[in-house]
Structure 1
Amino acid sequence: MSVGWEFYGGTALILLIVIVAGRRLRRPGSPKGPTWRNIAIGAVLFVLAGGLYTLPPHNVVIAVLVMVLGCGFFVIGIATLGGGYYGYLGAVAAGLAAVPWMMTPAPLVMSHVGRTVTCKVRDYDGTGVQSFTADCPDGHSHDMSSGDYKHFPNGQVRLIVDPNNVLPAQFDGPLHVTTKVVSSILMLLGAAGIVVAAAIKNRRLRGNVPHVANPGYSSGP
């Protein structure tokens, strides 16, 4: 799925911007400055991105763009809170905080409401495909994609679908919901730990945090 590549590519771009602009990223002075507000806006955008990806019309592109925007707010908030190399750590925290909202909601809900149906792969010619449309007996069609080429005996595929047609269909097979939930919790705890560490450093230095990830080649005084 291209979502992962777009997300990590966007996060890498945001990290590069943070490094290049590092000398200008000085903490504005909480509670007057927008540091905590930026972190909060980033968190809200992560939830919004998860909703856009999980709920109709399941717009992956807009969801990824919202997620990348959330990463920007999250990274800048953590960077200006902790200073120094918290520009790098903020990018890590953004990835940890954002991924669970794309990875977990649909499988978690589908494990309770989903049902398995056998659908017909539209215009299947017997060769392996990565993206295709599956026409199901209930009259609904689902656009599917996979990371590798799949072959479908008799042009049929078994899918797990939401009877209300709200959640995106998934390939039939183990959902590993427990693994996804546990992984998501650990990632969110990791992101929260980085935020707490930045806040502790900030308090220890009484707000006089160093420039963010000053690489020696960023512009500005």
Structure 2
Amino acid sequence: MSVKMVLSYNPPVFSKVEEERLHLKQKLAAAFRLFSKFGFDEGVAGHITARDPEKKDHFWVNPFGMHFSQIKASDLILCNHEGVVVEGNYPVNRAAFAIHSQVHAARPEVIAAAHSHSVYGKSWSSLGRLLDPITQDACSFYNDHTLFNDYTGVVLDIEEGKRIGKALGNHKACILRNHGLLTVGKSVDEAAWWFITMERSCQAQLLAESAGTPVLIAEEHAGVTYEYG
């Protein structure tokens, strides 16, 4: 039995889909509040999505233009993979639709995806590099994150979203060059956590490289440490 299996989290079980949906929306709203607390908001940029528990080709997302710190569960909008808002009173961020619809379509096991223009994530992304295993925390992404090595402007076309989904592959995170970070998970909590710790790993590597040349953790030790992630 792997370490990951031993340390796995068992999600709550619901008797009604309505209860599961409410729980999902509450988690999503809480994730936005947490992102605000960490300073991940940047104007109208940034979004976290969660696949609806019943309508698998629909996802809940933050309304366009609403600050992360103000989002409540009742504010969230339900969007289908064609970009149509089927529930809610606000418009959808076109970039959120273009990116997240294709990520959710490509990864049916993924429940949530997170992306924002966080300071250290977008700074690191400008280097066009993957993170190195220089800390125990960074080993969580060892051989489990990718680089979308292109930038053509604000992502408004689903074809660009498909390219990002393809670059992500079966990994839990992707660095979008000159743009920022993208993380996914089998729960809202997981996607949000991976984003937060990836942002901090970007910060740690930027700080380390500003002071000198970091010593990399050996491959065999990085691989074992990854199993604890």
State the TM-score bracket (shorter-chain normalisation): under 0.3
Which has the higher relative contact order, 1 or 2, with Cα contacts under 8 A spaced 6 or more apart?
Answer: 1
Structure number, greater radius of gyration: 1
TM-score, with structure 1 as normaliser: 0.24
TM-score, with structure 2 as normaliser: 0.23
